Structure 1
Amino acid sequence: MDTAGGAGRRAIIFHGTGGNPGVAWYPWLAGQLSERGYVVDVPHHPEVNVEPIGTFLPKVLDQHRFDEHTVLVGHSGGAALLLAVLEHVQVTVAQAILVAGYSTQPNTSEEPVLQADYDWDAIRSHVRDIYFVNSRNDPYGCDDRQGRAMFDRLGGTQIVRDDGHFGDYNQEYDTFELVNRLIP
C-alpha cells in the first residue's frame, strides 16, 4: 500500500475552517513532501469546525491511518482538530505541526472543533515531536498566546512569527518554507 521510500513515511495535511485541499500552501507542501518520498493525504473535511468534535472526530479517525511514521500538519481549525486526534489515536506519531492552532476560544465565533477539555498527558504521549507556529498578528485570535498555552502544556517547540493567519481568503500564502523545513 505504501510506496514511499524509507519506512513508509506518510503525511496528512488538515485544512482549516471553510478551507479545502486546494487553497493556501497545502498543495505546495504536499508536492514538496511527495518529492521527498512521503505518501501525502490532504483530505477534504468540510465538517471541520462545523460538526461538533464528538461526532466528527470518530469519522476522521476512521478515515485515516496513523502510525509511528505519520507526520500531521494542521492549519487553524485543522490544527485544533489535531489536538483531539492526538488525544485519541492509539499510537505515537512521528510529528505534529499546528499552524495558527488554538485550544481555547480564539474569538467570538463558535468553535465546535474544540473539546471542553483535553487530556494533555495523552496528547503528549501520542506525538514524538510537536511544533506550534503562530503569529502575533493573527486576525482571528489564533495567535502566539494560543500557541504558548499549548506549548506550556505539551512542550515541543513554539515558533512565533508576524505572518497573519498563514493564508486566508485575503492573505495569499502559496508556499510555506518554514513548515517544509520542519519535516525531516
Structure 2
Amino acid sequence: MARNAVVFHGTGANPGVAWYPWLGRRLAERGYSVEVPHYPELNVEPIGTFLPKVLAEQRFDEETVLVGHSGGAALLLAVLEHIGVEVAQAVLVAGYATPPNESEEPVLQDAYDWAAISSHVRDLYFINSRVDPYGCDDRQGRAMFERLGGTQIVRNDGHFGDYDQPYETFELLDRLIG
C-alpha cells in the first residue's frame, strides 16, 4: 500500500504559502503521494457541514500521514474523531481545541470524543510555540496532549508561518514524519 500524506493549511491560507509546498515536495521525494487541498471555507463554514465534505474528498488508511497547521490542525481533530481507520501519524502545528482568541472558530466542535481521536492515530505530535500571536500556544498543545498522549514539542517560532512570518521550510516536520 502506498504511503499518502494530506497537509491541511491554516485559516485564510492556501496550499502555496508558508512551508506547505516545501513539505509536499520533500514527502513526494520520499515516495509519498501528497495532497495539499485548498479549503477557502476552512474556519468559515461550520464544522458540522464542512467536515463531511473533507471526509468525502480525502482518502485515509493505515499508511496515511496527516499534517495540519492552525485552523487545519483544529480540523484534524474532527477528522481523526470521525474517520473509521487508524492512520499512521498526525502532526498538529499551532493546533488548538478551544477558542485561542476572541475570533469566531467555526472549525471547532462543541465537544470532542478524545477516546475516538486517540484510537484513530498511531503516532501523534503537537508542535506549538510558547508565544503565538493568535493564542495557538503551548498551553493549547498541552491541553490536547493531556487528553490524547503522543508527543508535545514546544518551540519559540511564533505561528510557524503567517502573512508577516515567512516560514518557507520546516525541517523539524520533515524529520518527524516517518
TM-score greater than 0.5 by the shorter chain: yes
1:11 corresponds in structure 2 to 5
Secondary structure of the residue aligned to 1:60 is: helix
Alignment map for 1:83-162 (pairs within 5 Å): 83-162=77-156
Structure 1 gaps of 5+ residues are 1-6
Runs of 4+ in 1 over 6 A off after TM superposition: none
Distance in 2 (CA, whole Å) between partners of 1:131 and 1:77 is: 16
Distance in 2 (CA, whole Å) between partners of 1:117 and 1:84 is: 10
Shift of 1:137: 1.1
Distance in 2 (CA, whole Å) between partners of 1:164 and 1:95 is: 23
1:177 corresponds in structure 2 to 171
Give the letter aligned to residue 139 of structure 2.
R
CA displacement, residues 55-111 of structure 1 (integer Å, 9 cap, x when unaligned):
000000000000000000000000000000000000000000000000000000000
**What TM-score do you get using the length of structure 1 for normalisation?**
0.96
1:48 aligns with 2:42: yes
Distance in 2 (CA, whole Å) between partners of 1:179 and 1:103 is: 21
Aligned-residue sequence identity (percent) comes to 78
The number of aligned residues is 178
Secondary structure of the residue aligned to 1:132 is: strand
Secondary structure of the residue aligned to 1:160 is: strand
Q: CA RMSD in A?
A: 0.4
Structure 2 gaps of 5+ residues are none
